[in-house]
Amino acid sequence: MSEHIVSLKIYVSIFLALLVGTALTVWAGLHDFPGQLNVIIALTIAVVKATLVVLYFMHVRYSSRLIWVVFTSALFWLAILFALTLNDYWTRSWL
Amino acid sequence: MADSVAIEHEGSHPALQHHFENLEQQREAGTLGMWVFLVTEIMFFGGMFFAYTLYRTKYPAAFASASNHLSLTLGAVNTAVLIFSSFTMALAVYSAQTGKRRNQVVCLALTILLGLTFLGIKAVEYHDKYVDHLIPGRLLPSRPFDASDVHLLPGAAPQNVEMFYWIYFAMTGMHAVHMIIGVGLLSVILFFAWRGRYGPEYHNPVEISGLYWHFVDIIWIFLFPLLYLLGRHLEH
């Protein structure tokens, strides 16, 4: 698989999208949304920004399948770390 | 040992190591290696993000109060600075791929400069915390933690405000250490880029240093809303 060169236009668009995302997250953080919506909005914006960086700045979108597998395995193990440990902490008071 | 002379590839690129078939294979292997390292980094920071999640859900009012005391302006400016540095880093890789040596050197220098700007602003923030007696525990024996400068929201206990600051300093401190390493790494890359080592055929060191730099940027993309923005909406 030969190397793919991401165009300047894409780099500039991603850069602008990341700045807009930052402004959006600050704006959303100053507004009082009902319930847990504030956390959900903040994390959604962060995940979208991180995904843009991974796919375009880090070229994962154009990389081999192997890189995809290695990267998603990290997310998978992180999910295990959070899910199993939190289910212990959050249910301890039930005993 | 005349037998152990490395196998020479006829007319190959000087950067090609003898155990690789060609530059393409060498590039793939290097990139994969960097990603495996970044996976371990994700798990390393994951532990701290976990601690944050646990204590934030346990002491929501104290965490919101402590977070509101951080400077939103400095945090937001630093986020923009880091995103800008990721952009110049990406352009440095692009310049190497397209063989523009001058642009490559300029972009790398800019990235380093923006990284140092980030660290400078971070230092100002740490100093503000020092002035407000918010260095947790007795890390500074003459200046123990004192939450009296923090405006406590209903239900917030001072010792839990301290918990937030332990996590704040652990996470931003570890992030800053990664930034310092990144600046060191890019300085080496800048030196070789200036000497003209990287071009369209061979630029993997630029590429994988870039991966590391972007990774550190991603950590901050999560740290900024989680640490600086978690209780602003409760203030008014």
Q: State the pLDDT at residue A4.
A: 85
Residues on chain A touching B32 (C-beta within 8 angstroms):
66-67, 70
Q: Which residue in A57, A68, A78, A92 has the most chain B C-beta atoms within 10 A of its own C-beta, making it the best mutation to test that interface?
A: A57
Compute the residue count for chain A: 95
A-chain residue closest to B210, CA distance: A58
Which CATH class for the B43-234 domain?
A: mainly alpha
Question: Has residue B220 got a pLDDT over 80?
Answer: yes
The pLDDT assigned to B236 comes to 59
The residue in chain A having the minimum alpha-carbon distance to the alpha carbon of residue B72 is: A26
Q: List CB contacts (< 8 A) between B36 and chain A.
A: 70
Query: What confidence score (pLDDT) does residue B169 get?
Result: 97
**Do residue B221 and residue A50 have CB atoms under 8 angstroms apart?**
yes
Nearest by CB to residue A67, choosing from B35, B90, B207, is B35
At B77-131, the pLDDT tens digits run 999 999 999 999 999 999 999 999 999 999 999 999 999 999 999 999 999 999 9
pLDDT tens-digit readout, B183-195? 999 999 999 999 9
10-residue mean pLDDT profile of chain A (95 residues): values are 84 97 95 90 96 96 93 94 93 87
Contact B210 A11 (CB under 8 A): no
Q: B234 CB contacts (<8 Å, ≥6 apart)? A: A32, B64, B68, B153
Closest CA to A74 of B40, B220, B208, B29: B40
Could you state, in order of their start, the residue ranges of all structural domains in chain B?
43-234
| Cα-based torsion angle of the residue sequence A8, A10, A15, A16 in order, rounded to the nearest 10 degrees | 110
Which residues from chain B sit within 8 angstroms of residue A66, using beta carbons?
32
